[in-house]
Structure 1
C-alpha cells in the first residue's frame, strides 16, 4: 500500500500539498520536470497526473519513506518497484517504475483515473473487490488529494476542488457515479468546478473530466513535450485533438531497436499494436503505431 505519507496530516485537518496553488505545485515539481515529461511521453500517462500523484504522495520530497517502507517521490513499496523495473532507489528509477505502474493500472481499469488512483494507494486487489469507492478512509483522502492536484494542474485553475476529508470524498464519489449513470448523453460536456458547501455538492454541469469515456485526451502527454527523436524517426496523423506517431519498419529492425530510435517504450509499442506474444514478428515496410499525444 502506498500513499501513507500525508494521511495523518489530512486526518488532523492540516494543510496538505494539494491545497497549494498550481504555481506552487509546479515550482515544487520544477526540479523533476524533465524527467516527468520524459516518462509521460514514454508510457503515455499525463504529466499532470504523474505530478498529482507525487503531490499527494510526498509533495516532491525524494527522500520520503513511509512507516510501511514505501520510498521515493512516488512512494513505491520495494516489491512494486521491482515489479515495474526499478533496480535501485534513485529518483529516476522511482519515477519510471511509478509511472509504469500507473500506466498498468489505467489499462487494467479501462482508463478510469478513479480506479487507477484508488488502486495505486490501496492495491488493485482491493479495487477489484470494492470498485473505486474503497471503504478505507486513507484511500478516500488520498483520492481527494490526487484529484484536487490533477484538476488544478490540468485546468490551470487555483480553485480548491475538494475539501480534504472523508465525507467530501465519499460525497464526490457518490455524486459522480450517479451522474454518470443518469446522464450519459452529457459525456462530452465541458466540466465546471463543483462546489462543496457544508454537506451538499453542487455543480452547474455534470463532472465529466475524469470518467473513463472522456479521459483519453487528458491521460495523454502534451505534444509540446514530444522528443526530437520521436519527431525525427516517425510520421504522424492528427485527429480530434490527438496526434498519433507511426514508424515504418526497416530491414533488420526489432522492437528493441525501434524503441531506441523513437524513444517510445517497448511496452507501449506492443500495447499500441496488440502484440501480446513475447516473440513478436515484424516485417519491413510494416507501419507501427508508437506514440500518441494531446494537441490541446
Structure 2
C-alpha cells in the first residue's frame, strides 16, 4: 500500500513537471523550457499568474494590448521614472520579442520578463497586463541605473540580479554579456 502511494506521488510530480515545462514552452516558444526543472518555484508562480490572467482578465483568446497602447505605456513609465523609451523598446524586443504572455525558462514574466519576486516587491498589479509589467520593469531598471550610474551595469543587474554585479564589473555570465552586447549595439545606433 505504501509503495503504491509513493509511486502515485512520484508519477504525479513527474506529470506536474512535464505539464509545467510544456506550458512554459508554449508561453515562451523557447525549446530550453521543455526540460528545465531548475526553476520550478518561479515558473510555478509565473504559470499561476498567467492562468489567473487568462481566466479572469484576458480570456482564452489571449487578448493582448495594441501596439499603440504598449507605446503609450512605455512613454508614461519612462517619463515617470526618467528612462529613455528607446532603451525600453529594445529591452522588450530582446526580452520577450514583444510577447505579452511570455514566460521564460526561469519564470520571468511578460513583455519585460520581470521575475515574480521582483515584480511583487515593486508592484501590486497583474504581471501579464502590459501596463503593469512595463511599469514594474521600467521602475526596476531605473533603480539599477541610479544604483550603478552606468547603463551596461544596470542592464547586467536587470538580467543577472544586482547582487551579481560586483566591483563595477559585469558578471562573467555568457548570457548576461550577450544580453548587454545585443541591447547596447542597437541602443548606440
Q: CA 1:62 to 1:122, structure 2 compared with 1: closer, same or farther past 3 Å?
A: same
Indicate conservation of the 8 Å contact 2:156/2:180, yes or no: yes
Indicate conservation of the 8 Å contact 2:148/2:168, yes or no: no
2:56 corresponds to which residue? Answer: none
Aligned pairs, number: 128
**Distance across 2 between alignment mates of 1:29 and 1:130:** 39
Q: Which runs of 5+ in 2 are unaligned?
A: 1-27, 33-65
1:144 corresponds to which residue? Answer: 181
Deviation digits for residues 109-137 of structure 1 (CA, Å, limit 9, x no counterpart):
12x0011001100000000x253332100
- Scaled by the length of structure 2, the TM-score of the pair is 0.61
1:83 corresponds to which residue? Answer: 121
Indicate conservation of the 8 Å contact 1:86/1:97, yes or no: no
Q: Which has the larger share of helix?
A: 2
**Distance across 2 between alignment mates of 1:85 and 1:70:** 15
Query: Once the 2 structures are TM-superposed, how far is the Cα of residue 87 of structure 1 from its aligned partner?
Result: 2.4
**Distance across 1 between alignment mates of 2:175 and 2:98:** 19
* Runs of 4+ with deviation above 6 angstroms: 5-9
Structure with max Cα Rg: 1
Structure 2 residue matching 1:65: 3-state secondary structure: coil
1:102 corresponds to which residue? Answer: 141
2:38 corresponds to which residue? Answer: none
1:157 corresponds to which residue? Answer: none
The Cα RMSD (Å) is 2.4
Q: Which runs of 5+ in 1 are unaligned?
A: 10-27, 153-296
Indicate conservation of the 8 Å contact 1:51/1:150, yes or no: no
Structure 1 residue matching 2:188: 3-state secondary structure: helix
Query: Once the 2 structures are TM-superposed, how far is the Cα of residue 8 of structure 1 from its aligned partner?
Result: 8.2
Q: Which has the larger share of strand?
A: 1
Deviation digits for residues 132-157 of structure 1 (CA, Å, limit 9, x no counterpart):
332100001100111123223xxxxx
